[in-house]
Amino acid sequence: MKQIVYALSDSSGETATIFSRSMIAQFPMLEIEQKRFSFIQNLQTLKEIFHQAKKDQAIVFYTLNNPEYDQMVKEITQSQQILAFDILNPYLKKIEAYTHQKASREIGAARKLSAQYFKRIKAIDFAAENDDGKNPKSILDADIVVLGVSRTSKTPLSFFLANKNYKVTNIPLVPSVEAPAELWQIDHKKIVGLTTNENILQKIRQERMLAYGLQATTNYSDTAKIHAELNYANSLYKKLNCLVINVANRSIEETAAIIENKLNFDKV
């Protein structure tokens, strides 16, 4: 079954798009066609979009800061029986009631240059400067220290977390190289050890070799070597008493969520 989904906003539409994808992902049997309408600036454009939505039998997800736009959409969707979800205003109203503060309803407020924005830029710079063990001393200044053998997604995870304002350094683990002494000088709660399944890691490394135009079977992808590397890493994690995450069949987002959840609970 094909289902058309609209994401529309008087801003960039990023929130509506992400929210709609999260919802529709729960219905894998649907064939989805997504349409995005951003920076809507007048009522006529809104009317035309919803006129087409009725024809498409679309499900609509929207964020509208302008109260006049929001009211008109509610009238149209009710009269035309269009399934539409306001994913901004109901939450703003609840927060207003709870905090006794009025929302600014400023378009694009989330993208404003702010202290948080500059903190994020600094975190990204920190991750770049200290990627792949470039500077072990950075362990002392990091919010999160990611450890793992080669090809356990240390770098993409570090940058994903940096985009959430965490200063992250990642250190590659090799049995023949002694782990940095700085690991024993910080709170173990800051350390995250990544591990994976041997067969999955071997496949990833073989594909990496093929991408370089080399033979799939090399010392890098040798079963015994991989076994030794993972055993070394897991042994170190045990000594450090750190959080260990098996990243096999797990997305970067899922791994980051586990880390953030642990950090938040540690603060309680």
CATH numbers and ranges of domains, the chain: 2-111 (3.40.50), 115-267 (3.40.50)
Residue 139's pLDDT is what? 98
Read off the amino acid at residue 126.
Answer: F
Residue 104's pLDDT is what? 83
Binding residue per annotation — 15? no
- For residues 226 and 202, what is the distance between their CA atoms, to the nearest angstrom? 7
Nearest to 195, CA basis, from 153, 163, 225? 153
Binding residue per annotation — 122? no
Residue 256's pLDDT is what? 96
Average pLDDT of adjacent 10-residue blocks, the chain of 268 residues: 93 90 92 93 95 96 93 95 95 92 77 71 95 96 98 96 96 96 97 97 94 89 96 98 96 95 82
Residue 105's pLDDT is what? 77
Binding residue per annotation — 148? yes
Binding residue per annotation — 99? no
Distances (CA, A) of 12 to 25, 49, 90, 182, 210: 21, 16, 19, 43, 40
- For residues 178 and 160, what is the distance between their CA atoms, to the nearest angstrom? 27
Binding residue per annotation — 150? yes
* CB contact set of 244 (below 8 Å; sequence gap of 6+): 192, 193, 194, 195, 234, 237
- Overall pTM surpassing 0.85 (yes/no): no
Binding residue per annotation — 155? yes
